[in-house]
Amino acid sequence: MANTSYFAGLIGGIKSLCNGLSVTFRELWTPKITERYPENRKENNIPERFRGTLVMPHNEKNEHKCIGCGICQMQCPNGTIKVVTEMVETADGKKKKQLVRYEYDHGCCMYCMLCTRACPQGAIEFENEYESAVFDRKALIKVLNKPGSKCEEKPARPAVAKPATAPAAANGTPATANANAAAGNAEAKAKAEKLVAAAKKAQENAVAARAAADEAKAAAEANPDDAALQQAMTEAEAKAVKLETAAKTFAQKAAEAVEAAK
């Protein structure tokens, strides 16, 4: 206001204040954004990638995938994980490391994902459970393997049906093998599996899209005057082409990954 005249400044000032008032007045009637937690627990959508707590998934036979290699413990920057193992003799006389306790100190965890990324077996993962508050910090030290659980003998592989992945699966490193190699190999394997699945999905999508496109085309040819149908046909065609290309890329990638895993 220093460089404008007294009255121009006064009027300009009042105008700017009214501008602000109009904004708040409008906002007074807009829908409110507050989320009503905990009433909205059910519809509260936590993204699946959100890292709430570390878990070790068990299958229906109370089996987990952890082989007790301790890579996660080594990777953890602040000593959150403690893996207790023992050596047991298997039926065929071989010595084998077995997980006894998998201790996870939730209070220390900083969710950096180094453990889950390093795990050669994919035995641990983050879950989006977020209500972790407890009254005693001792309760935050959790044992992740369930009582009486044991390691899966031969990890179930949903993609085994696909012949391409079979060799990769057969290549699976024995549990006692060098941990580092296991890490690399298992990761590649997992990736290959994922990619194969993705490629399959993409192929399915592409087929569906192609069918839809054909249908649209037929409809459009039947009614050449209908502009909307023409439009729909062009769009469906474009979508089908796009998805087919994507499917091809995926298939190629999957093939490469399978090759790499071998």
Partner 1 sequence: MFDFSDFTSWLDTVLLRVMPEWLTILVECVLVALGIITLYAIFAMVMIYVERKFCAFVQCRLGPDRVGPWGTIQVVCDVLKMLTKEIVSLRKTDRFLHALAPFLVVTASMTTFACLPWNKGAQIIDFNVGVFFFLAVGSIGVVGILLAGWSANNKYSLIGAMRAGAQIISYELSIGMVMLTMICLAGTMSFSELCQNQAEGGWYIFRGHFVALAAFIVYLIAGNAECNRGPFDLPESESELTAGYHTEYSGMDFGYYYLAEYLNLFICAGMASTVFLGGWAPFVIPGLDGFNEVMAMIPGFVWFLAKVFFVLFLLLWERWTFPRLRIDQILTLEWKYLIPISMTLLVLMALCVSLGLTF
Partner 2 sequence: MSNMINPIVVAPEELHDKLAALKAEGYDFLECLTGCDWGEEGLGVVYSLTKSSTTFEMTHVKCVATDKENPTLPTACDLWDIANIYEREVYDFYGIIFLGHPDMRRLFLREDWVGFPMRKDDKPEEKNAEIPATNENISDTRHKYTLDAEGNLKCEDTPVFADDAYVVNIGPQHPSTHGVLHLRTAIEGERVKQIDPHLGYIHRGIEKISESLTYPQTLALTDRMDYLGAMQTRHALCMCIEQAMGIEVSERVQVIRTIMDELQRIDSHILFFSCLCQDLGATTAFLYGFRDREEILKIFEKTTGGRLIINYNMIGGVAHDLHPDFVEDVKHFINETMPKGLKEYHKIFTGNVIFRNRSIGVGPLTREQVISYGCTGGTGRAAGWHCDLRKHRPYAAYGKVNFNEITFESGDSMDRYMVRLKEIEESCEIIRQLIDNIPEGPIQEKMKPIVKVPEGCYYSAVEGSRGILGVYLESKGDKSPYRLHYRSTGLPLVAALDEACRDFMIADLITIGGTMDYIIPDIDR
Q: Of partner 2, partner 1, none, which one sits near residue 36, judging by CB under 5 to 8 A according to partner kind?
A: partner 1
Write out the binding residues for partner 2, residues 121-160 only, by CB under 8 A.
126, 128
Write out the binding residues for partner 2, residues 185-244 only, by CB under 8 A.
none
Q: Where are the alpha helices (DSSP H) in the chain?
A: 6-27, 71-75, 114-118, 166-170, 179-222, 227-261
**In terms of CB distance, is 66 or 118 closer to partner 2?**
118
Give me the least distance between CB of 38 and partner 2, in Å please. Answer: 19
**Which of 55, 70, 75, 255 lies at the binding interface for partner 2 (CB under 8 A)?**
75
Write out the binding residues for partner 2, residues 27-66 only, by CB under 8 A.
27, 33, 47, 49-51
**In terms of CB distance, is 171 or 180 closer to partner 2?**
180
Pairwise CA distance, residues 226 & 141, whole Å: 67
Please enumerate in sequence order all residues whose Cβ is within 8 A of that of 239, keeping only pairs 6 or more positions apart, or say none: 209, 212, 213
- Here the tokens at position 47 are 């993204």
Pairwise CA distance, residues 213 & 233, whole Å: 6
> Contact, 56 vs 142, CB < 8 A?
no
Verify cis geometry, omega within 30 degrees of 0, for the bond prior to 77. no
Residue 15 found at the interface with partner 1 (CB under 8 A): no
**Which of 10, 100, 156, 181 lies at the binding interface for partner 1 (CB under 8 A)?**
10
Q: Of partner 1, partner 2, none, which one sits near residue 100, judging by CB under 5 to 8 A according to partner kind?
A: none
**Which of 3, 15, 23, 41 lies at the binding interface for partner 1 (CB under 8 A)?**
23
Backbone φ and ψ of 149, nearest 5°: -80, 160
- Here the tokens at position 110 are 């900083």
Residue 183 found at the interface with partner 2 (CB under 8 A): yes
Report the SS3 class of residue 49: coil
> Judged by CB under 8 A, how many residues of this single chain contact partner 1?
16
Q: Of partner 2, partner 1, none, which one sits near residue 111, judging by CB under 5 to 8 A according to partner kind?
A: partner 2
Helical axes 227-261 vs 179-222, angle rounded to 10° = 160
Residue 7 found at the interface with partner 2 (CB under 8 A): no
Give me the least distance between CB of 204 and partner 2, in Å please. Answer: 16
Give me the least distance between CB of 209 and partner 2, in Å please. Answer: 16
Write out the binding residues for partner 1, residues 24-53 only, by CB under 8 A.
24-25, 27-28, 30-34, 36
Q: Of partner 1, partner 2, none, which one sits near residue 141, judging by CB under 5 to 8 A according to partner kind?
A: none
Residue 175 is given by DSSP the state: T
Please enumerate in sequence order all residues whose Cβ is within 8 A of that of 255, keeping only pairs 6 or more positions apart, or say none: 164
Residue 113 found at the interface with partner 2 (CB under 8 A): yes
**In terms of CB distance, is 32 or 49 closer to partner 1?**
32
- Here the tokens at position 155 are 């990890």
